[in-house]
Amino acid sequence: MTKTISKGRLWTARAMSGIAILFMLFDSMTKLFKPSFVVDATVDLGFQEHHIYVMGILGLLSTLLYAWPRTANLGAVLLTGYFGGVIATQVRLDAPLFSTILFAVYLAVLVWGGIWLRDEQVRRFFAGRR
d(CA 116, CA 110): 10
d(CA 47, CA 51): 6
Residue type present at position 123: R
Residues 6+ apart with CB under 8 A from 90: 100, 101, 104
67: burial class by Cβ within 10 Å (0-12, 13-18, 19+)? middle
The predicted model scores a pTM of: 0.91
The predicted model gives 23-32 an average pLDDT of 98
d(CA 127, CA 86): 27
Q: Kindly give the interhelix angle for 49-67 and 7-33, rounded to the nearest 10 degrees.
A: 160
pLDDT score for 99: 82
Domain boundaries, the chain: 7-127
| Torsion of Cα atoms, 11 then 17 then 22 then 28, to 10° | -170
pLDDT tens, position by position, 30-78: 999 999 999 999 999 999 999 999 999 999 999 999 999 999 999 999 9
